[in-house]
């Protein structure tokens, strides 16, 4: 009986240690999974922000080009009108 109790008492710390190792392994895996998840979320956000910035830059460039085109067209029409007016005044 004494031998049985001694064996039982001696095996308890080992069982506790094995459970501790399993818990540490589980905790380490959970921490690694969370780190990977956080890294992916950060990367996805950075990619999204970069895409939004690129789209805004493209829209701004397109708007500036449209504005420049309108100004050039207006200037060309004004120059044509001025030239026509000068020609008309020379005819008189």
Distance CA 83, CA 76 (A): 10
Specify the pLDDT at position 32.
Answer: 94
pTM beyond 0.75, yes or no: no
Q: What's the whole-number mean pLDDT along residues 19-43?
A: 89
Specify the pLDDT at position 86.
Answer: 82
Distance CA 73, CA 20 (A): 79
Instruction: Answer whether residue 90 shows pLDDT above 70.
Output: yes
Token pair in block for residue 18: 């094995």
Task: Pinpoint the alpha helices (H) of the chain.
Answer: 2-91
Q: What angle do CA 28, 34, 40 make, to 5 degrees?
A: 135
Distance CA 78, CA 65 (A): 20
Each residue's pLDDT tens digit, 49-65 = 999 999 999 999 999 99
């Amino acid at each position: 009986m004494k031998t049985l109790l001694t064996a039982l008492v001696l095996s308890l710390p080992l069982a506790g240690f094995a459970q501790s190792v399993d818990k540490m392994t589980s905790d380490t895996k959970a921490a690694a999974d969370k780190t990977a998840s956080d890294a992916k979320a950060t990367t996805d956000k950075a990619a999204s922000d970069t895409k939004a910035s690129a789209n805004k830059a493209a829209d701004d460039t397109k708007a500036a080009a449209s504005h420049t085109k309108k100004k050039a067209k207006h200037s060309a029409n004004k120059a044509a009108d001025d030239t026509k007016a000068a020609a008309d005044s020379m005819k008189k």
